[in-house]
Structure 1
Amino acid sequence: MKIGELDGRFNHIKEAHLESEKRLEKLGKLNESYQNTGVFLVVNGSLARKELVDGSDFDAFIVQKRISRSLAQQLWTEAHEAVGLRRPGSTGVFGEDSVVQYDEMLLNIGGSSDSNESITRRMLLILESTSVGDEASFEELAKAMLNRYISDQITDHQLALFLLNDIIRYYRTICVDFEFKTEEDGKPWGIRNIKLVFSRKLIYFSGLLICAETAQRSALEKRAICERLMRLTPIERVLSVLGEDAFEPLMYYDKFLEKMDEPEIRLNLESEDKDALRKSELFRSLKNDGHHFSMSLRSAFVRHYDGSHPIHRAIMF
């Protein structure tokens, strides 16, 4: 099922999707100029998820095969100007100074040098990304990453456990990182809390679906399934796998996007008065919807994958 086929219960999802595609079309015009340069942007965030709302940032980091700092920053600047979104926040993951070497994306996965920034970039490339610049190099990197996660030695009955464990690790990293950034680093608490309940959770959930779909498939088939689902946004991925079972959680998600598209609501959620925000009707309403969203995701998951499916054991152990 495609987003365009959804009915009026999902108008905000459809509107955000359409607006995002218009902006992405502008970015696509840059690709020809950067063919064979070995430089590309990995675009993430609400734009890559096609959930663009008022106040969205341009979240993107630069990957380069050869050191070409000026070309890399030129691409980021041109893309930022073309898309017309706010500059990213000061996370260190995104922006014109966020440059990573191509080979670094494939090294130290799970090792002692695998930083929060490294796993974040890797998982965002898999779970919510589109490219600008040298598209062939981006596709090459995505395939190389899947080959790293799903080797030819994996047996048919196994899930893509290496990938699954990194997706789980990434999500837990986000949750821990939230506490640090809001308690010690002074970042806005309310809006980050709500995003954690909705958009970050949907990203994670859609990653679980990718791995669940690799059961009882050859290594080649597992990689093909992952590659196909990687090309979809989290919402598209959930619809593709779950079909109508995705409707209930996506109705809550539609309400979330509606709220995030209201400048006054976003401003209220960025309030520094945490105690007053916690008690506000706006925050409590969003949190209540978030709990229902989580429960409906779980229900859809259990309906789609019966108790004998290996994904249940893999998530628990």
Structure 2
Amino acid sequence: MGELSDRRSQTGKRILQLRTRLQDAENRAKSKACVYATGSFGRCEASSHSDLDLFILGKNNGTKGRDGKEGSLLKRLDEICIKADLIEVTRVLGIQEFSGDGRYLVHYSVDELTETLGTPEDDVTNTFTARLLLLLESHPLLEDKVYKEVTEEVVVAYWRDYEDHKADFMPAFLTNDILRLWRTFCVNYEARTERVPDEEKAKGKLKNYKLKHSRLLTCYSALLYLLAVFRQQKSVHPADALAMIGLTPTQRLEWLREQPSLADAHETVSRLLDQYERFLETTNAEEGDIVRRFMDKETSREYMTAAYTFGNLMFDVLACIGKDNLFYRLLVV
């Protein structure tokens, strides 16, 4: 069993453990809200060292607040109880504490995710990140049915002009947001990376290494999928987006490799998957151990060369699938 296959198996078992211990939280959320995982759990490639990144997303309650957006069906007290259950179960199972002392364990309504689209408020309230990660690397933890319903609503918001362009629809709105997310990841890395002392520099290199593998794959596997669909049928329908969301980033690459019409890209896609598997092998350790490896100049150089290779392969696949494709032009200019 390879590293990727092993990670998928581990993630499935750990999510089952979580669900088994979260029955009370499931009942509180029933028909009102879902909880979805992002990060390595959302990508179904968690290791024993992975933490758990979660969002709570509630169905609209039909009542607009002062901000003009509908609130969530999930009541405030039930939200507090669910968060308490989530904190408790991660401690019982030995999963790392929620990052930022729980500040990112946030509850939104669907309206809060969709009505902020394209507005300055989107960045300030973090709805941008919550929405994009829902579409690009999420996995439901509680209330699968609600997860499906709210995801469909978010897709509809991005496909708002679809009815007038069914035969040649390019998902420009979503594409631009995905590209913006990738650029945001890159800018955040530059802004938050300490250059001294040596250990902090090594931590920065590790963040860069992860950025150029998992973050890059999250964004560009989705773009590759949408680009391939447009190449095949000259349009991208809402159902195509939902199918893409239902696949993890690595599964999207595997899907590309299964398409006969994309035979010219199959070899490079396979190399991309192999390179990503090596990344997973490298990062399957405590952060402190990996940081110490990055403090060795030769090892650090080897890892960062691999990161650049991964980026080059991603570009090659993108260019191969995008040739003579109007959608590809949209990605570039």
TM-score, length-normalised on structure 2?
0.80
- Which residue number in structure 1 is paired with residue 217 of structure 2? 202
- Which residue number in structure 1 is paired with residue 129 of structure 2? 120
2-side partners of 1:45 and 1:52: how far apart? 8
Please report how far the alpha carbon of residue 278 of structure 1 lies from its aligned counterpart in structure 2 after TM superposition.
6.5
Unaligned stretches of 5+ in structure 2? 59-71, 259-265
1:132-147 counterparts in 2 under 5 A?
132-147=141-156
> Residues 92 and 24 from structure 1, CA distance in 2 versus in 1: closer, same or farther, beyond 3 angstroms?
closer
Percent identity between matched residues is 23
Matched residue pairs, number?
A: 297
User: What amino acid is the match of 2:79?
Assistant: A
User: What amino acid is the match of 2:219?
Assistant: Y
2-side partners of 1:88 and 1:12: how far apart? 25
1-side partners of 2:294 and 2:322: how far apart? 40
1:13-28 counterparts in 2 under 5 A?
13-28=4-19
Verify the 8 A CA contact 2:135 2:245 in the aligned structure 1. Answer: yes
> Helix, strand or coil: the match of 1:104?
helix
- Which residue number in structure 1 is paired with residue 329 of structure 2? 313
User: What amino acid is the match of 1:72?
Assistant: E
2-side partners of 1:34 and 1:217: how far apart? 43
Please report how far the alpha carbon of residue 183 of structure 1 lies from its aligned counterpart in structure 2 after TM superposition.
4.2
Equivalent of 1:291, from 308, 318, 330? 308
1:261 aligns with 2:261: no
> Residues 279 and 36 from structure 1, CA distance in 2 versus in 1: closer, same or farther, beyond 3 angstroms?
closer
2-side partners of 1:76 and 1:130: how far apart? 17
> Residues 309 and 62 from structure 1, CA distance in 2 versus in 1: closer, same or farther, beyond 3 angstroms?
same
1-side partners of 2:39 and 2:100: how far apart? 14
User: What amino acid is the match of 1:71?
Assistant: D
> Residues 195 and 53 from structure 1, CA distance in 2 versus in 1: closer, same or farther, beyond 3 angstroms?
same
* Higher RCO by CA contacts (8 Å cutoff, separation 6 or greater): 1
Please report how far the alpha carbon of residue 19 of structure 1 lies from its aligned counterpart in structure 2 after TM superposition.
0.2
1:150 aligns with 2:165: no
Unaligned stretches of 5+ in structure 1? 1-7
Equivalent of 2:78, from 71, 76, 86? 71
> Residues 79 and 122 from structure 1, CA distance in 2 versus in 1: closer, same or farther, beyond 3 angstroms?
same
Question: For the pair shown, which has the larger CA radius of gyration, 1 or 2?
Answer: 2
TM-score, length-normalised on structure 1?
0.84
Please report how far the alpha carbon of residue 36 of structure 1 lies from its aligned counterpart in structure 2 after TM superposition.
3.2
- Which residue number in structure 1 is paired with residue 68 of structure 2? none
Equivalent of 2:190, from 179, 183, 196? 179
- Which residue number in structure 1 is paired with residue 30 of structure 2? 36
